[in-house]
Amino acid sequence: MDISFNTIGYLINTNYQNKLISKQEKPNVKQQYIKDLKFYKKRIFDITKKLLKHEKINNTIDSIFEDYCKTLIEFFKMTDTKDIIQQEYKQQKNVSFQLNKTEEEIDDNIITNIANDDFNNLIMKQNKKNITIEQSMNIIKHKKTSKPQFIPKQKNINLKDSQLKYKGIKKEKEK
């Protein structure tokens, strides 16, 4: 067991080496990390600012920071895309629900008062078996040309929107 752990320790990527080490850490190490983080906080911010200005610090630090930034950018893009699609879905859901009901039904049936059976009927597929003459006899039916198949289009979401640049960032209090 110890030999394989040492082998993995030497062969693993330096970015993931901390995960392997953290499995063997004691609880005191975590507390020491928090103290060190508070102590070096200003220096960490300073180096981060320098790295954001594309200044070179160290090859290892530069590559780790680059991976960190790429991961954050992907996270922001996925979050923004999810939020935009969910917003469109909410708008579409409200419109389609109101189109299927008359004005009296909208007033009478608030969503919270709809019975579970109505929800089940909306969600579940109804199996209606209608026996036709074609099913009971051997009748050959020639298919007509079908309508062109609907192919969904890929949505173009503007991830460079100015609103997304500062999304989720709290405004600093002016002194």
- Name the least confident of 30-34, 65-69, 160-164: 160-164
Verdict on whether the full-model pTM lies above 0.85: no
Mean pLDDT of the residues in the chain: 77
> How high is the pLDDT of residue 166?
77
Please state the rounded mean pLDDT for residues 137-148: 76
Q: Nearest Cα to 61, choosing from 46, 39, 80, 79? A: 46
> How high is the pLDDT of residue 96?
60
Q: Is the pLDDT of residue 4 over 80?
A: no
Please state the rounded mean pLDDT for residues 10-15: 70
Decide which of 120 and 110 is more confident: 120
Please state the rounded mean pLDDT for residues 58-66: 94
- Residue ranges of the domains in the chain? 26-55, 57-94
Please state the rounded mean pLDDT for residues 85-101: 71
Q: Nearest Cα to 22, choosing from 10, 39, 41, 9? A: 9
Separation CA 155–CA 164 (nearest Å): 17
Phi, psi of 36 (to 5 degrees): -65, -40
Confidence of residue 62 (pLDDT cuts 50, 70, 90): very high
Confidence of residue 73 (pLDDT cuts 50, 70, 90): very high
CA 21, 48, 67, 63 torsion: positive or negative?
negative
Percent of the chain with pLDDT over 90: 26
> How high is the pLDDT of residue 157?
84
14, 20, 22, 24, 101 from 30: Cα distances, Å: 20, 14, 9, 11, 58
Please state the rounded mean pLDDT for residues 24-48: 85
DSSP annotation string for 85-140: HHHHHHHHHHHHHHHTS-HHHHHH--GGGS-HHHHHHHHSPP------HHHHTT--
Q: Is the pLDDT of residue 1 over 50?
A: no
Please state the rounded mean pLDDT for residues 160-167: 80
Write out pLDDT tens, residues 113-122. 555 666 667 7
> How high is the pLDDT of residue 106?
54
Separation CA 170–CA 95 (nearest Å): 33
38, 112, 160 from 42: Cα distances, Å: 8, 52, 31
